[in-house]
Each structure stands twice: as structure tokens, then as C-alpha cells.
Structure 1
Amino acid sequence: MRWLVLFFGGVLVAPFEVNAPDKHLLALRGHSAVLGCEFTPDLNLSNLVVTWQREEDSQVVHSFYYQQDQLERQSPEYHSRTSLFVTELHKGNASIRIAAVSWKDAGRYLCIVSNTKGTGRASMEVTYGALYSEPRLSIHLNSSALTVEFETEGFPKPEVIWVDEHDQTLSCPLELLKHTEDGLYLIKSRYEVKKQVVNVTFTLKNHLLNQNIHRPVTFSYDENIKSNPGTATVVVLSLVCIVLLIGVIWLTLVRRKKLGSTGATNHNHQCNT
């Protein structure tokens, strides 16, 4: 912080100043965000007034005066979510912590401070971001083609890329739906293939949060299954039946072995007597 020093009657006086160290803040969904604000301190806090509010609509985020929080006019969206660093106020720290950040917290904020030395304000902008969840894979098979699809949620809108085994970019449709309730984008992206061997990589990039997700998909399938999807079910049921049959045979052999062992023990005991 730079100070402009004034000279009055042989006394050095620093002008009152309010400053936001970071003009832009990236807030992560569900985490706490600290909006920084500094002011020219005064050891006497009895006249200190600190007000945080939204710049676009002037709704009150947090208020402090008479040496305590005054939250009667606080916007309901911030109830039980804001706090000042009260023990740091005498040092000129009027920063505020906002807990459980959501998409509604994005926007411009004003830090307004006044004390016996003067009144001032500083503004800053909060940007909201949410990491994309682990992509959910689904595979759909019909008579004409096979479709590989990934689905995930996050914010903001990402860059989605599909590449084949030769690192060639593939053209794939991207379905984008915004959830207004939680402020997340629901992403559905799919790749359709008519070959029996699938070897592709799904890549999602959230540039705001430097998040990169790479998910390779490699498998092959029988052409008979594609022409008759019911075949897959029959194959699975047949395998299950075989496994059950092997289990029954194994249990029968074990039981016979135990019975034979018991009989032999009884015979030896009778001979010894």
C-alpha cells in the first residue's frame, strides 16, 4: 500500500485509504472465499464502520459498527455465511470470509470503511468456478452403430475433445444443459462408431480452474451381438449357468470327500478297539 504523506504544521499525516489487494478473486464451489480489504487503521474502534455490499444491487453482505456485527439488514442469501476478522480490525484488515460459495456469489463487491480518519471504498470482482465431476461412461448398442457417451457436471462451459488412436480429432456432438438450481453445466458428449474395435480418448478441459480430464476407452465387440443385441444377454446367462453348475459339482465332490473321510476314521477306530 502506498501512502501520500501530507505536512500540516510540522505534523506528518497519512490520508485515509481503503484498498482491495486483489481486484479479481476466483471462488471455488462449496469452499470458503476471502475477499481482501485494507484501510488506514485507527486504534480507536468505537467509530469504525465496515460495510460489505454487492455493487450491482447494493444488497448488504455484512455490516460492523458499535464494535460488533450488525446483521439486521443483511441479505438472506448471506445469513450465517459471512464473518470479519475482528481481531485484525485494529490493524486495518476489513477482509470478509464467505462460506460455502455458490454461483450466486459471483459478481462485484464493495468494501466501505469509515473511522475518525475518513471514509473510503474499494471494489473487487468474484468469479465462480466448479470442478467437473468424474465423467460417467455409458455404452449403447443398436442395429446400426455403437455409441460411447460421457456425462459430467461443472462450471463454466468446458472444452471437450475426442481423439482416435492416431490422435486425430473426432467430430462429436456436445449436449449442454445449465442447471439453474445449483449453477452447474451438465455435459453429455457422445461418439458413435460403426467399427468392431473402439479406441478413443475423451478429454475435458476446464480452463478457468486448469482442470484436465482424460479418459481412454478401448474395447472390441462381436458383430453378432450388434446384429442381435439379445445375444449378449444369452451369452451372459449361459456363463452364469455354467458357473453355477461348476459350483454344484464342486460342493458335491467336497461333501463326498468329507463323508468318505468320516467313514475311514470310524473304521480305524473300530479296528483299534
Structure 2
Amino acid sequence: RRRVWNGCLLSVVYCFFTVIGPRDPVTAILGQETVLPCHLSPRMSAANMEVRWFRSEFLTVVHLYHDGKDQYEEQVPEYQGRTELLKAGLTDGNVHLKLLNIRRSDEGQYLCFVQDDTFYAEAVLELWVAGLGSAPLISVEGHQDGGIQMVCRSAGWYPEPKVLWKDFNGRHLPSLSETTSRGDNNLFETETALIITEHSNQNLSCCIRNTVLNQEKESVVYIADSFFPRVNPWMVALSVILVVLFGFIGLTVYLFKMKGKYQRETYANVTLDPDTAHPQLVLSEVRKSVRWGDTRQDLPNNPERFDSWACVLGCEGFTLGRHCWEVEVGDGGSWAVGVARESVRRKAWISLSPEGGIWGVQRRLGGQFWALTSPETPLPQSRVPSRIQVCLDCGQGQVTFIDASDEAPIFTFPPGSIPGERIRPWLWVESPGEMVENRTEKSYRKISLAGEPAGGSKMGRDKITGRGRGQREWSSHGG
């Protein structure tokens, strides 16, 4: 009985083994092949064992050997046709894996897993992938700063290489500029520039090194004296004069074109949309002016109409370009001028702020002057204008308010404030009856846009009277 027990014990000990891989990372070159070494210790045959090579997940099979043959149907697609288990060493416990046509994605950890009927073990090894790019191409780009600009280019490197300019004695030369990017194959491309002068380094080389492989590629060039510029002082003076002259001509032409473009593109002919006007507001026949009416009109309650705030929108909507128009508000009164997005809320209470889809400036009771930001921004009461120019820049997403009398800026909503939807001119008219120094000031405020007849409309008090305590006008002019 003792002999039988000892025999079983020896048999169990023999079944235990260790899987051993390399201590240092294995380095492979892109497009070539490499072997991932792995073996059993103590040495024993692995011909009848399962050998599984995989990445981070057990089922991410790089290669599987089982039941004495390769199980290619278990491989993940990116390794199909690119692996080979070296079976010549299986009987000696070697389970090396050959990996063909190395790719960048092959870089990383691999697990070598071996299992028999009673025991299994595994080892982890690291694969580094490196690529040697093309030989450096040195080109002459032209004259710069009294010398010659040289550019060195190369592609197909991995990881990012180190680039050096060197003179004939091997001393490093500082680069003028250096850029590195990834190409379509996700490998690194590099470009570096250098300026050489006639009396500096005419013999130079461009050296690109792969720090993983510790290998480099180098190109050498020699620049003859005839390539360096010879400048006549009279030519320099003539060149400066010509540059200044052509610059002045170009600037004049540019300013002339910009003036014409500004006049053509920025001024908008704004008319008012009666379908959006609050029932208390009365529009002129040509829809160029609006005032607060004595009674609330019986108008259709269509979805476009404001029914709570005394607002009206312009018919025109803008999505592109820069557009300006002028609004005359006169002195005193309560009013607001600006722009609104197409989807601004028309019914019930609305927020007069960018969150509510409105960007504008407002004068309130008592002469308070505000920019309708969130929260509101107080503006100097001494700067309350009688004529306001509204400039909408759809490309920048901003609107600017300018005092039309002296072109002084009033307020600008920053770029990106206005969304990319259709934007329309917007006006708000307060009801008459404002307390000024304990006196009630009655005002019938009116907006007259470009094209309004000089005598105003035929609606009684709608006559344009300019300024004063009687009637108050707003006019918007497209230049």
C-alpha cells in the first residue's frame, strides 16, 4: 500500500508546470514578422495540451491549438492568416507563436495559456511595435532672412521619431520649425526646416532616429556658393519702393471694395409684419411705422401674434451676412429695440432676454437704460440715444447697438450669443402714461422705417413730430 501511494504522489507532482515568457518586451518591425517566445518548465511535451494565445480577454483568441491541431475558426478576424504555432518545438515544451505582417494594432500585452487535463498556467509578455520610415528627403525651399531655407521630410515612422540637423562635424543645429503629424496609415510624418547662410554650414545632414529600435536614417546635402543670394543695394531700394507702392494701391482698392460691399450688404430695408403685431399696436399703411393705439383692436389670434407684450417683428428674416438698420426713438418714453429669433414665444409672458430669444436694449420709466442680458446690464442714462443703429452679424452670431448720431457704441452681445436660426428685427412699445417728476407724460410712440412717406401715415396722431412731450417717434432707416 505504501508503494502505491508513493507512485500516485509522484504522478501528481509531475503534472504541475510553469509557463515562462520573456522578461523584456519583444520588439517587432511594422510589416515584418516576429516570434513571441513561450515555454513550459520543467520541460515536457505540449503536443496533447491546449495552447491558447490571447489578448486582454480570454475569448479574444489570437491563436488556439487543441486536440493536436490548430483551431483557426476560433481566431478573431484581425489575426486570421497571420499566426503560426511553431509545432517543431511542442515536444520540448516550446509553444512559440509566429506573428506575420506586423501591424500597429498588434502592440500591447499577450497571454500564453497552456492547459492539460488537470492543470493550467499562463505567462504575460509585452510586444512593442516600431516602424522605420522613409529616408529623409532634403529640399531647398527658397531664400529667407539672407540665407536658404532647407526642409527635411520623412514618413512612415512609429513611434514618433527624433529629428536632428547636423553639420559636417556632427554638431546639432537648431531647427527653424518642426511639425509632426499622423498620416492616413496612422504612422508619423515629420517635417523640419532650417536656414543656412553662406558663411555658416553649407555641409549638413538630416538624421531621423527610431528610439525603440535605436536605428536611424540619414541624408546629406551640400549647398554651393552659387545658391546663396547676391543682393544689389539699388535693387533693395527699388524693391522696397515697389512693395510700398503696390501695398498702397492694394489697400486703396481693398478699402474701396469694402466700402461698396458695406453699402451693398449691410443695410436692410425693414418693414413690419402685421401678423405679429400686438392688438394694441397700430401699423401705418406702408407698414413702416407703429404706434400704441387708443383701443385694443379686434384681430385674429393667429399663432404668430404677440398677445401679452406689445411687440412686433419685422417681415424680414436673416440667416446669413451682416445687416444694419436704424431706429429713431426720440426722447423719453419706454421702448425696446433689437432682434428676436424666429421661434420666440408669442403667447402669454415672455422673457426679454437671450434665454427668451430676444437680444436688445430698453429704456424704461424714469429714464433707466438697460441691455437685455441675463441678468440685465445697466447702461449710462446720459447715453440714451434718440436714434439707434442695429447691426446683426449672422456669421459671428452677435448684434451691436450704436448711437446713430455720433456712431458711438452702446452695447454688443458677444460672438456666438445668437443661434444659427432665422433672426428678425424686434420692437417693443410701452403703453402711454409715464410719471416724470410727479407729472404724467403722455406719449404715442411711433416707429418709421425706411420708405415711410415724409408726412407719415394718415392715422391721426401718427404724424411724425420728432421729439418733445406730445408725440414721440421711432424711425428705422435702411441706409
Does the alignment reach a TM-score above 0.5?
Answer: yes
In 1: Cα distance, 2:142 partner to 2:172 partner: 24
Alignment-derived partner of residue 62 in structure 2: 61
Return closer, same or farther for 1:171/1:94 CA change in 2, 3 Å cut-off: same
Structure 1 residues 20, 164: closer, same or farther in 2, change over 3 A?
A: closer
Aligned with residue 162 of structure 1, among 157, 165, 171: 165
Greater RCO, 1 or 2 (C-alpha within 8 Å, sep 6+)? 1
Of 184, 209, 212, which aligns to 1:208?
Answer: 212
Partner of 2:71: 70
SS at match of 1:90: helix
Q: How far apart are the structure 2 equivalents of 1:91 and 1:74?
A: 25
1:130 aligned partner, one-letter code: G
Structure 1 position 45, deviation (Å):
3.9
Aligned partner of residue 17 in structure 2, secondary structure? coil
Aligned to 2:299: none
Equivalent-residue separation in structure 2 for 1:183 and 1:177 (angstroms): 9
Closer, same or farther: CA 222–21 of 1 in aligned 2, 3 Å: closer
Task: Please tell me the residue identity of whatever aligns with 2:205.
Answer: T
Partner of 1:87: 88
Contact 2:39/2:96 (8 A) holds in 1: yes
The aligned residue for residue 6 of structure 2 is: 9
Taking the TM superposition and a 5 Å limit, the aligned residue runs for 1:55-204 are 55=56, 59-116=60-117, 118-142=119-143, 145-153=147-155, 154-164=157-167, 167=171, 169-179=173-183, 181-193=184-196, 195=198, 198-204=202-208
Task: Give the distance between the partners of 1:169 and 1:194, measured in 2 at CA.
Answer: 13
What's the Cα RMSD here? 2.9
Whichever of the two has the greater Rg, that structure is 2
Counterpart Cα distance in 2 of 1:214 and 1:83: 36
Deviation at 1:122, TM superposition (A): 0.5
Q: SS at 1:72's partner residue?
A: helix
The 2-side partners of 1:109 and 1:139 are apart by 46
Deviations 1:128-167 (A, max 9, x none): 1111321112111147552211111212222222234573
Is the CA contact 1:32–1:98 (under 8 Å) kept in the aligned structure 2?
yes
Answer 1 or 2: which has greater strand percent: 1
Amino acid at match of 1:206: N
- Write the distance in 2 (CA, Å) between the matches of 1:165 and 1:45: 59
SS of residue matched to 1:209 = coil
Which amino acid is 2:18 matched to?
Answer: E
Where 1:9 maps in the other structure, the secondary structure is helix
- Corresponding residue for residue 269 of structure 1: none
Give the direction of change, closer, same or farther, for the CA distance of 1:210–1:43 in structure 2 (3 Å limit): closer
Q: Is the 8 A contact 1:102 1:182 kept in 2?
A: no
Q: Which runs of 5+ in 2 are unaligned?
A: 236-479
Distance in 1 of aligned mates of 2:44 and 2:230: 82
In 1, Cα distance between equivalents of 2:166 and 2:199 = 17
SS at match of 2:125: strand
Is the contact between residue 56 and residue 108 of structure 1 (CA under 8 Å) also seen in structure 2? no
Structure 1 stretches lacking a partner, 5+ long: 1-7, 228-273
- Structure in which a larger fraction of residues adopt helix: 1
> TM-score, structure 1 length as denominator?
0.70
Q: 1:43 to 1:136 in 2, by over 3 A?
A: closer
Q: What corresponds to 1:39 in structure 2?
A: 40
Distance (whole Å) between structure 2 residues aligned to residue 173 and residue 160 of structure 1: 11
Percent identity of the aligned residues?
26
